[in-house]
Amino acid sequence: MSFDVQAIRKEFPILTRMVNGKPLVYLDNAATTHKPQCVIDALVDYYSTCNSNVHRGAHKLADEATRRFEGARDIIASFINAPSRNSVIWTSGTTESINIVANGLAQLLQEGDEVIVTSMEHHANLVTWQQACAKKGAKLNIVPINDKGELDIAEYRKLLTSNTKLVAFPHVSNALGTVNPIIELTRLAKTVDALVLIDGAQGIAHGNVDVQAIDCDFYAFSGHKMYAPMGVGILWGKESVLESWPVWQTGGEMISTVSFTEATWNTLPFRLEAGTPNVGDAIAFGEAIRWFSALDLEGIQAHEKALMDYATEKAKEFEGLMIVGDASDKVGVLSFVLDEGHPADIGFLLDKQGIAIRTGDHCAQPLMNRFNVPGTARASFAIYNTLEEIDVFFNALRKVKAMLA
């Protein structure tokens, strides 16, 4: 196989849009990716042909919906090399996935226990653990980062003790693009028998996620960062951990038996999937994974590296631009500030030229404080972006700099 970016682009109808009279240059992929036509078609087809609740219906539509829904679970289990489909839990996204784990941990923690997170966390992988620790008087420890935006592994080792009950860290930083050494971080956590949760929201779309090789206990990710719809995600967990994990919500589907005085819970995966699931979007998520898996992964990764290298080279040549986060292992994200102009002004003026980026603190306020910036402008790349779009972006940025001056 070979990777043909122009052929890929033709599968995304939104990329033909004009914005403010200019062809859309979409560089906000760390916030959400666009959807190929096959994913859109899968969602429309579900609602057009077999819209029904799953598992409990006694009619043909319910049977078809259930087979598609559970088939999507199988596709995702295979994609991340899960040893069992039963450990793949449907959620609304990474945030809910992390909260399921944090809610359970809050019931298991005791005073004096410790949880470790990093200085580069998205708020979803920070505030959840703050709250869990606060409920039980546990301590939250923070792994520092260096000026390049890389974790201080030596300090991480020092924080790991017999009191450490869980370690949580991102696979890839949403604000910096830093790729963390997740296998090494997990291995070190296991030396003190700590549970490990990985926020995979930014890591999943780059491929090669093998939960068995990583040996983490939980891996959380969202569909909409992976060319699938919003509002659907996955919590993968080791079956031995999930089968006794405190339930997140109660209601339909997660019940085994009920009386007026007590209830017992269903088996995995259903015990953690209360209520009517997001069936259509789950089916479309499965289609997104099927579509992505059919592509040349080595070609994708080579293309993404070329985009990142080219954008970084252009940024380093750009007078008055400072890159925030220059890790040696980095993917998909170029965060920066200019010596003139607030990031919000940069984003506004780029939009007038048809270019979509993200500005602000990127739900990582402590990280922005670490770099002593109010926020950054963030250009983030996906498989459908091109080197020519990066040229357009930097040409537009020169105009922005001149206007702000």
Active site residues: 363
- Considering just the CA atoms, what is the radius of gyration of the chain in Å? 22
Pairing of strands 321-323, 333-338: antiparallel
Is the previous residue joined to 366 through a cis bond, with omega within 30 degrees of 0? no
Single-letter amino acid code for the residue at 320: G
3-state percent breakdown (helix, strand, coil) of the chain, nearest 5 = 40, 20, 40
Which tokens sit at 392? 């357009």
Overall residue count recorded for the chain in this entry:
405
Which tokens sit at 189? 């956590």
CA distance 93 to 104: 17
Q: Using an 8 Å Cβ cutoff, are 232 and 204 in contact? A: no
CA distance 1 to 298: 9
Transcribe 10-62 into DSSP letters.
TT-GGGG-EETTEE-EE-BTTT-----HHHHHHHHHHHHH----SSS--SHHH
Helix (H, G, I), strand (E, B) or coil at 218: strand
Which tokens sit at 283? 């089916």
Phi and psi torsions of 403, nearest 5°: -65, -40
Helix (H, G, I), strand (E, B) or coil at 6: helix
The stretches of 204-358 forming alpha helices (DSSP H) are 211-214, 239-242, 279-293, 297-317, 343-351
Q: Which of 378, 250, 266, 267 is nearest to 324 (CA)?
A: 378
Residue pointed to by tokens 């679970």: 73
Side-chain-side CA neighbours of 261 within 13 Å: the count stands at: 0
